[in-house]
Chains A and B, each alone.
Chain A
């Protein structure tokens, strides 16, 4: 019982979070909990605020109202040093990988290791080989980001994200812009990582195929507010018109860009 309760403590917790950009509410009173070891998917249309939610969780931006807690500590109230300490347990895969262009694949993955650990160079080399083989890219140590394909860059980005064996990995649109096969490989990697290393994964995506492949739980976001949270099964069977429209990608339904954005129908 006791053990079960411990597992139930959320690792990330958003409590009535609101964020305003230039007078526009981008995030509107969002509350959600993410538990250790689960793969939590935030899905929604472009501009729905899902990437902003991710940035609130990583501390890149601060909420205007409410609070964001990581491991029960309020991220907005942390000093720079404390935030850095928390961030050492983060990994993040960016939409366009965000590898440092001036560094080789090897140096990119070595960067967090060299900055935050006192490991000897030989050991760092071994870790790099290990992480690269985990993403299936051994032998690419000396390539530069500009010399490899987008899918490979993403996988290197993932290797870098897990270099420090993080507790939480954030994925910003991990499969967008990739062909279906590489997308499938990334999905499998995300699943493997959470299964083998007990990593908590937070995934922002609008790739429906990938959502049901990887998700334990899903939050559907629309116009900065959470429409529904549930397990993958619950969301799939949901009768919520927003979710039905989103899953089937139909132009007709409550999600209507034209009306909302310009105040009148375009056609």
Chain B
């Protein structure tokens, strides 16, 4: 019993160590590698940005607009009792920008792009393509992980901004359509209470989530073992681990901002 727990703990520590190591490896190729004349390929980064970012636009838009709609309806139900339905506008905007849009966008991207990255790199691993890169003296982290890391780092905050707008639009539809709030008044209330700080705390979160998704999916992909089954396992693990870590860090970052304010 004790030995089993011990083994699990050791496994986790090893896993954390390796993920952190991968992070430093990526940072090395980002900041020190270029001075040795070994740049990441611009074309590869653009390709990944299109895959991670552009192709996720539709799904992020729909997830966030419906969240905005649901949020508006749920809060209106309570605010109506106090005759304060107008504040649906600011409530939707603030809770989306600070919390829901970064987290939901990250979850969508982890499920869509993170799993694809893990599956692609995992397949490359089990078909010896990673080893082939090694033999050709091409570092797999520089060649494969760095472009994906950069793409996620920039595209996730960008998608989050899109999600913010989509969510506010969702709230606007409910507010003006069903709650009979004057459209101008709705927008005024939104921007009166929404501060720049609300937006950037959300963006800081999505920045961190981008790092998490990239690290986990690249790590699981590059460390895949055992054929097609292994690729499936790596994909599942990358999604599950990313989800848990996204929620966990969200909690930590929110607590940090909450207590540093008071």
Contacts and interface: CB of A to CB of B under 8 A. Distances in A.
Which of B120, B128, B132 counts the most chain A CB atoms within 10 A?
A: B132
Interface residues of B, number: 14
A112 B124 contact: no
A85 B138 CA distance: 11
B137 A95 contact: no
Interface residues of A, number: 22
A101 B136 contact: no
B137 A92 contact: no
A115 B131 contact: no
B136 A94 contact: no
A76 interface: no
Contacts of A58: 135
A116 B128 contact: no
A90 B135 CA distance: 7
Which of B133, B134, B135 counts the most chain A CB atoms within 10 A?
A: B135
Contact of B129 (A83, A90, A95, A100): A100
A25 interface: no
Interface in A115-144: 115-116
A101 B134 CA distance: 16
Interface string A80-106: 000111011010101110111110000
A263 to B, nearest CB: 26
B163 to A, nearest CB: 29
Given A98-B132, A115-B136, 19 more contacts: A58-B135, A60-B134, A83-B137, A87-B134, A87-B136, A94-B128, A94-B132, A96-B127, A96-B128, A98-B128, A99-B132, A100-B132, A100-B133, A111-B138, A112-B136, A112-B137, A112-B138, A115-B137, A116-B137
Interface of B: 120, 123-124, 127-129, 131-138
Kindly list the 3 A-B residue pairs having the minimum CB-CB distance in the complex, ordered from nearest: A98-B132, A84-B137, A98-B128
